Amino acid sequence: MADGKARFKTYNHPAGGWGAAAATTKILLEQSVVTKGSRALLSMNQPGGFKCPSCAFPDAECKKTLDFCENGAKALAFEATKFRVTREFFEQHTVSELMEQSDHWLEMQGRLTEPMRYDAASDRYVPCSWDDAFALISEHLRALESPHHAEFYTSGRTPNEAAFLYSIFVREFGTNNFPDCSNMCHEPTSRGLPPSIGIGKGTVILEDFDHAEAIFVIGQNTGTNSPRMMSNLVEARKRGAPIVAVNPMPERALVRFADPQDVIQMATFGSTKIASEFVHIKIGGDLALVKGMMKVIFEREASGEQIIDWDFIREHTVGLEPIRADAIAQTWRELEQASGVAEEQIRRCAEIYIRSNATMICYGMGITQHQEGSRLVQQLVNLLLLKGNFGRPGAGIAPIRGHSNVQGDRTVGIDEQPSQAYLDRIRDVFGFEPPRAHGHHTVETVAAAVAGTAKVFIGLGGNFVRAVPDTERSYAAMRQLALTVAITTKLNRGHLVHGRDALMLPVIARSEMISTGAGEQFVTIEDSMSNVTASRGVLTPASPHLLPEVEIVCRMALATLPGSKVDWKSYIDDYELIRDKIAEVYPEIYSDFSERIKNPRGFHLDIPPRRRVWPTPNGKANFQPLPGLEVNVPVADPAMLRLATVRSHDQFNTTIYSNNDRYRGVYNDRMIVFMNADDRAERGLASGASVAMETISNDGVQRRVDGLTVLDYPMPRGSIAGYYPELNPLLPLDYYDKISGTPAAKSIPVRVIAA
Ligand SMILES: Nc1nc2c(c(=O)[nH]1)N[C@H]1C(S)=C(S)[C@@H](COP(=O)(O)OP(=O)(O)OC[C@H]3O[C@@H](n4cnc5c(=O)[nH]c(N)nc54)[C@H](O)[C@@H]3O)O[C@H]1N2
Ligand SMILES: Nc1nc2c(c(=O)[nH]1)N[C@H]1C(S)=C(S)[C@@H](COP(=O)(O)OP(=O)(O)OC[C@H]3O[C@@H](n4cnc5c(=O)[nH]c(N)nc54)[C@H](O)[C@@H]3O)O[C@H]1N2
Ligand SMILES: [Mo]
């Protein structure tokens, strides 16, 4: 798959440190943007600058002079690249030829430069004017029998202003079909938390890291996916706060980390041991770990110890008793078996939790991407509630979100299941009657394409076909559509797997300036801890033909909805008018938006559980049950292994920066199966053997990926890992959390067989 030979070399250094510094320089060099990139890096996450286009972790308040990380620098370098995809490029390559290229190759071609339309006769993308592009969209949308035959995807890099207008446009057009990258990501947070605590967002802020007495990091690869959080973990560790890392992969940065921004550590080649407790959990074993910890707590409480915060329980919660009975009823043998963790270690984890007066639980895709992802998130809350770990400094639940504005997009209306109260507000503010029926999430969108009811797909950012499950079926389904529109910055698979008509609409990126008839504009984003801040690009756009996302949304609306009640024209020029409308629709959290955003540090959206106020129907925090110890449908096949599809250190979702994964010791290859040597030997496979993987399912569909290499790796028995998106063909479309719609990408039942 790669240009050279795959290499494996155990990474013995701490994560971060000089390795990260060297990697940053190398990337800027490769994209030929050393001066431009370095200059732009100085503005990233600084007041008056732009927000890092990589992850959603908040930036530190003046703590560091430079607030970016190796992977933020990569995201920027690939956005600011000097390479360009021009009309000449498309003259030279048919779409079928491009389809043969790897995701990495497509990404390396550079930034898109002008709107293009697919020409079936030549199998090429050909230039097309912006006016013609909007006319084609309007023609297709207006020809539909029902507005529900169109699907409007959003990826989480889209800023608030564009996402808000998009949600208004689509609702005025007449549907709530809002598949979103969040539907594959932290939707179990957005759907799981509200019944528990009344809001689908995390409850901690950055300062809480300074007060936490214990931090759990569960199913999240911090050093790679939210590297800026490493500074907080390092500081907490130096203060002596225990950190419990729960992961089937001994992720390097969670074990040891040198802060590349810490001059002393860099100079002395020192590093901080991060996890005081590394819990080598089986895939899907977290439920058993939580129940085991609870069992310890309830049993010790029953024998006279005072552990549980009874004042808090009585005043603020409902539903403790069934949770207690269920935890007590579990046997240690079953808990050990389901978690893969010894009783002794579960007791140590409980001890850390018991001793701490302020516990924070951070979690990522290792928790959400299971068939019971939403209810698993609720179990983490149950654990926190026992000791009143809400509304107190250093305590709370901390979903670590992915895309930089994925949380913000949801806040401002990208929601396929909007509440009736919200729809009433849209009606009152904009004067049209929005559709009331719930729309499609991501999996339902693919299903509608498979069924042939979906006809038009518009993607505001992202790389839908590559991110969704069941690659082969999804590709075939998307190819049946009448029109696909990709509003993007860079070439990706989504442009190549397209409908009969297809458009590629290139946008101004996060790091670039937006100038309109009313002068220079800024956009806003909401990070993973509900801070809203302004983002002002500093670079000249990659091409003079790019448009801002806001303008593209407005012009789609102008072309499609001639009798619209919304003043789309005014929003193209003046983004403050958009923020004023956001304030009108969300007065509780966004009042005085335009004024408050003038604060260079932005502002924090209210999170009622921080004040021990619970916006649930009964006004309480509710313990939520999840019987048993399984978070996935059990499979009765002795050869079955659970596959987690994960990110490497050198990718951002479907964007592959390189074929290396430094911290895991993998170079020049992504077709890897991380596997316990005993599981490998049991299958009669040699170390480094070539293998294939097949999904175990009973829907009669054959799902298989060939060309893989087994790598002996410290995985728990029965748990294996490999890379997303290469292994998405193995993930069945109907294998998802029914509450949130999130595909169970961390627990695919597979067989590994000799090639
Ligand atoms: N550089 C970079 N940054 C990113 C991204 C990127 O691709 N690259 N993507 C962004 C996005 S959209 C997101 S959502 C986040 C994703 O960030 P993460 O949540 O870190 O996502 P993953 O890399 O998918 O891996 C999650 C971790 O879960 C572990 N895991 C797998 N199964 C289980 C399990 O059953 N239990 C437990 N406890 N752990 C398990 C894996 O070993 C892995 O360490 O990062 C964001 N930031
Ligand atoms: N098997 C498996 N599948 C998964 C996951 C997994 O862990 N395992 N993770 C899931 C998760 S958490 C997520 S979030 C999804 C990600 O799904 P998406 O968000 O759809 O995918 P990305 O790879 O982030 O999208 C990258 C593309 O976005 C475009 N882009 C970049 N910047 C901008 C911008 O500023 N504006 C616009 N308009 N476009 C831009 C570029 O063209 C780029 O090619 O994938 C999901 N799929
Ligand atoms: Mo994500």
* Maximum pairwise Cα distance, the chain: 80
Indicate which residue's Cα is closest to atom 17 of ligand 1. Answer: 225
Which pLDDT score is estimated for 263? 65
Round to whole Å and give the CA distance between 631 and 373.
7
With a 6 A CB cut-off, is 56 part of the ligand 2 pocket? no
With a 6 A CB cut-off, is 181 part of the ligand 2 pocket? yes
CA 647 – ligand 2 centroid, Å: 12
Tokens for 718, please give them: 């029965």
Ranges in the chain annotated CATH 3.40.50.740: 84-185+405-602
User: Running DSSP on this structure, what letter comes out for residue 685?
Assistant: P
Indicate which residue's Cα is closest to atom 13 of ligand 1. Answer: 402
With a 6 A CB cut-off, is 467 part of the ligand 2 pocket? yes
Round to whole Å and give the CA distance between 66 and 443.
40
Indicate the pairing of strand 704-712 with strand 690-695: antiparallel
Residue pair 496/99 in contact by the 8 Å Cβ criterion: yes
Amino acid in position 613? V
Indicate which residue's Cα is closest to atom 4 of ligand 2. Answer: 467
**Candidates 1.20.1630.10, 3.40.50.2300, 2.160.10.10, 2.40.40.20; correct CATH number of 641-754?**
2.40.40.20
Quick check: helix, strand or coil at residue 354? helix
Round to whole Å and give the CA distance between 354 and 110.
52
CB-defined site of ligand 1, < 6 Å: 54-55, 71, 185, 218-221, 224-226, 246-249, 251, 281, 283-284, 286, 364-366, 402-403, 644, 646-647, 651-653, 721, 746
Among 283, 539, 653, the mutation site with the greatest number of ligand 2 atoms within 8 A of its Cβ is 653
Which pLDDT score is estimated for 269? 61
Which pLDDT score is estimated for 574? 98
Which pLDDT score is estimated for 9? 81
CA 401 – ligand 3 centroid, Å: 7
Cα separations in angstroms, 140 against 340, 521, 558, 563: 53, 31, 14, 17
Residue pair 524/408 in contact by the 8 Å Cβ criterion: yes
Cα separations in angstroms, 388 against 242, 314, 498, 614: 19, 11, 51, 13
- Within 8 A by CB and 6+ apart from 143, the residues are none
Candidates 652, 509, 513; CA nearest to 80 is 509
Ligand number, closest to the Cα atom of 55: 1
With a 6 A CB cut-off, is 184 part of the ligand 2 pocket? yes
Ligand 1 atom closest to the CA of 363, numbered from 1: 19
Round to whole Å and give the CA distance between 529 and 700.
43
Indicate which residue's Cα is closest to atom 3 of ligand 1. Answer: 225
Ligand 1 atom closest to the CA of 649, numbered from 1: 1
CA 463 – ligand 2 centroid, Å: 5
CA 460 – ligand 3 centroid, Å: 15
Which pLDDT score is estimated for 266? 64
CA 507 – ligand 2 centroid, Å: 15
Amino acid in position 337? Q
Strand-pair partners of 644: 721
Indicate which residue's Cα is closest to atom 14 of ligand 1. Answer: 402
Q: At what angle do helices 286-302 and 320-329 cross, to 10 degrees?
A: 100
Ligand number, closest to the Cα atom of 644: 1
Ranges in the chain annotated CATH 2.40.40.20: 641-754
pLDDT < 50: residue spans in the chain: 1-3, 62-66
With a 6 A CB cut-off, is 649 part of the ligand 2 pocket? no
Which pLDDT score is estimated for 36? 73
Among 252, 528, 746, 748, the mutation site with the greatest number of ligand 1 atoms within 8 A of its Cβ is 746
Q: What CATH number was assigned to the domain covering residues 84-185+405-602?
A: 3.40.50.740
CATH topology (fold) of 187-403? Dimethylsulfoxide Reductase; domain 2 (3.40.228)
Round to whole Å and give the CA distance between 11 and 252.
8
Among 289, 369, 404, 646, the mutation site with the greatest number of ligand 1 atoms within 8 A of its Cβ is 646
Residue pair 621/197 in contact by the 8 Å Cβ criterion: yes
Among 79, 225, 401, 717, the mutation site with the greatest number of ligand 1 atoms within 8 A of its Cβ is 225
The neighbourhood of ligand 3, an ion, using CB within 5 A, equals: 185, 402
